[in-house]
Amino acid sequence: MMLRIPSLLTAEEVRECRQALQEADWQDGRLTAGHLAVKVKSNWQLPIDSPLGAKMGNLILDKLGRNPLYLSAALPLRVLPPRFNRYEGGGTYGNHIDNALFVIPGTAIKVRTDVSTTVFFSDPDEYEGGELIVEDTYGHQSVKLAAGDAIVYPGTSLHRVNPVTQGTRYASFFWTQSLVKSDEQRRMLFDLDQSIQQLSMDHPDHPRLSALSGTYHNLLRMWSEA
């Protein structure tokens, strides 16, 4: 399932983060690439131990933790601390599938990459190219969202970032280990949850609400790995 989360960050939060990113010390993104990905990766990243990255990452995690759309779609169990990248001057990241597991820095805790997330810090008219291309069962999905928006999609997807030929593309990226490993099951739970929420708004006294809510939680209990 691919889902846009609009306005995860406010315009003021984006502005402050952008200013910090423009003044940050960057390193070659290939330093964090695997032996195959390093051949197709050409960008810049904040060091994983960057205090600035940790500060902005905590902001993103705080906003996600209070975002009902993300919580319903991702059903997060663990979230890898957000990372940050910069593309410019033809920078690109060719077709790849992300590692299945990452270790949270400074710990022995592993995060399975069930759900990928990108948060945009540059508006589409600020750079040429730079589309996030995700291949799924419905074909190629091209993503280029407004600054402050986020996109979530299955971590199993083949994806790439097209070359940025003009301007600069700033973004954050990270992964979530979901309570529910299967993307298909997460999609069904999300659709059911959204239907329950809509029914509760339109018909708050509907006699079937309790039964539908019970079905949702029983399915979550059945499929959850917590």
Instruction: Write the CATH number for 202.
Output: 4.10.860
- Quick one: CA dihedral 50, 172, 122, 70, positive or negative? negative
Give the whole-angstrom CA distance, residue 74 versus residue 191.
Answer: 12
109 and 201, same domain (yes or no): no
pLDDT recorded at residue 36: 73
Residues 6+ apart with CB under 8 A from 95: 40, 135, 158, 159, 160
Based on the fold, state whether residues 202 and 161 are members of the same structural domain: no
pLDDT digits (tens, 9 = 90+) for 127-154: 999 999 999 777 889 999 999 999 999 9
Same domain, 80 and 7: yes
CA angle 37, 146, 184 (to 5 degrees): 60
Specify whether 206 is located in the same domain as 173: no
Q: Does residue 76 sit in the same domain as residue 100?
A: yes
**Per-residue pLDDT, 19:** 97
Do 145 and 208 have their domain in common? no
18 and 110 belong to one structural domain: yes
**99 and 31 both lie in a single domain:** yes
How high is the pLDDT of residue 38? 83
**Predicted local distance difference test score (pLDDT) of residue 170:** 98
Whole-number pLDDT of residue 35: 77
Could you tell me the residue range of the domain that residue 202 belongs to?
183-223
How many domains in the chain? Answer: 2
Q: Which residues are annotated as a binding site for 2-oxoglutarate?
A: 169
Radius of gyration of the chain (CA): 18
Q: Do 129 and 18 share a structural domain?
A: yes
For residues 207 and 98, state if they share a domain: no
Q: Which residue numbers belong to the known binding site for Fe cation?
A: 96, 98, 159
Contact between 122 and 147 under an 8 Å Cβ cutoff? The reply is: yes
Q: At what angle do helices 51-65 and 11-22 cross, to 10 degrees?
A: 160
Annotated binding residues: 96, 98, 159, 169
Please give the Cα distance from 199 to 109 (Å, whole number): 39
71 shares its domain with 163 = yes
In a shared domain, residues 40 and 123: yes
Whichever domain contains 73, its CATH number is 2.60.120.620
Find, among 97, 98, 15, 94, the residue nearest to 56 by Cα.
15
Residues in the chain with pLDDT < 70?
A: none
